Each structure stands twice: as C-alpha cells, then as structure tokens.
Amino acid sequence: MFASYSHLTVKPESIMKSESRQYSIRAGEKMVAIAEEALSSTWDWKNKLLNATRFYQAASKKIHILNPKGELVAYLEKPRGFNKEMYIKARDGGHISELWPTLKVRTQTIDAYLPDGNIFC
C-alpha cells in the first residue's frame, strides 16, 4: 500500500483561491500521490476566522492523501490549537502514525512515530 522514496517534491496545483488547496507529490517525474485539503476544514467558519487573523496556525486541517488515480489512501489531521503534532490515519480511520515537526532556521525535520510510541523507521 505504501512505498519508500528518498526524495519527494511537493508542488501546489490549486488554480483558484476559492478551491481547497491541492498539491502533487512527485518522486522525480513520477506522480506518487495528491494531497488535497478536505472541504470540511476549508469551509469551517472557525478556521476561516483563525486564518483571517494572526492565529492562522491554530486552525485545524484535514488533508486527504490520494493515489494518482484519485482514490483515498489515508489522511493527515491536525487538531485545532497551537499543537504541532499531526496524525496520519488510514482510509477507515485507523491510527497509522504521528508526525512531530521540528522547525529551525537552517533545518526542518519531521519525526514520525508509530501508535506505540516508537519512532517510525
């Protein structure tokens, strides 16, 4: 179901501002996935209010991960609030992993943890 890639490129694909955000994920020239913000988080009035202020980082996000054919594979979910963690969930809602970003001036890393707390290798 999932494959490993050493280098991925993410490119925005949304044409109109009114659309939900959409990104293509590529390994070289091959498209491996599409990431698309769910309409439920795009049109939520609380998120719109937070995005219109300095508190845009507190808005919740739900991003669908689709295969190149457009079929839902998994989704990323960031709860509302100033927390940094994001959750990767399977199509059926089962917990796959947690993502913890570390953003510094020169380096940005994302650590992935399994549900049991061990780091994902």
Residue 113 maps to a domain: no
Please state the domain count of the chain.
Answer: 1
Residue 43 maps to a domain: yes
Is the pTM higher than 0.95? The answer reads: no
Closest by CA position to 73, among listed 97, 90, 93, 94: 90
Closest by CA position to 33, among listed 59, 60, 2: 2
Q: 52 is in which domain, residue-wise?
A: 9-91
Write down the pLDDT at residue 111.
Answer: 78
Burial of 75 (0-12, 13-18, 19+ CB in 10 A): buried
Write down the pLDDT at residue 56.
Answer: 84
Could you please report the per-residue DSSP string of 77-106? EE-SSS---EEEEETTS-EEEEEEEEE-SS
H helix intervals, the chain: 39-42, 45-51
Write down the pLDDT at residue 15.
Answer: 64
Digitized pLDDT (tens) for each residue of the chain, 121 residues in all:
567 777 888 888 866 665 678 889 898 889 999 999 888 888 888 988 888 888 888 888 899 999 999 899 999 999 888 877 888 899 898 888 888 888 777 777 777 888 787 877 6
Residue 74 maps to a domain: yes
Residue 27 maps to a domain: yes
